[in-house]
């Protein structure tokens, strides 16, 4: 899998842990930004995530795919693997 995957997390967030587990299970190389207590980083994430401030927030090839539930929904529909196969530009 060759996509550029980025995930913003909080270290004790159960949804973050679930999202990371799914990505790891799929063998995805990803960049994790653990932003515990860093409001400036959260503001930057929120700008990228169309105003969303909940965690996690996940990006594939700079496309905002949403949070944990969104990631699992894409997986259930078979769309996550397609996104993960597309190379970053």
pLDDT in tens, 3-19: 999 999 999 999 999 99
Q: What is the phi-psi region of residue 55: left when phi exceeds 0, alpha when psi lies from -120 to 50, beta otherwise?
A: beta
In three-state secondary structure terms, 51 is: coil
pLDDT at 22: 98
Percentage of residues of the chain with pLDDT beyond 90 = 92
Query: Could you tell me the pTM of the whole model?
Result: 0.93
Q: Does domain 5-85 have CATH number 3.40.30.10?
A: yes
Which residue do the tokens 């899998």 mark? 1
* 2 or 47, which is more confident: 47
pLDDT in tens, 32-75: 999 999 999 999 999 999 999 999 999 999 999 999 999 999 99
pLDDT at 41: 97
């Amino acid at each position: 899998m060759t996509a550029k995957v980025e995930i913003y997390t909080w270290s004790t967030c159960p949804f973050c842990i679930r999202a990371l587990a799914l990505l790891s299970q799929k063998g995805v190389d990803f960049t994790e930004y653990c932003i515990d207590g860093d409001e400036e980083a959260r503001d930057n994430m929120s700008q990228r995530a169309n105003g969303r401030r909940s965690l996690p927030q996940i990006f594939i090839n700079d496309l905002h795919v949403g949070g944990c539930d969104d990631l699992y929904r894409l997986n259930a529909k078979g769309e996550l693997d397609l996104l993960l196969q597309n190379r970053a530009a």
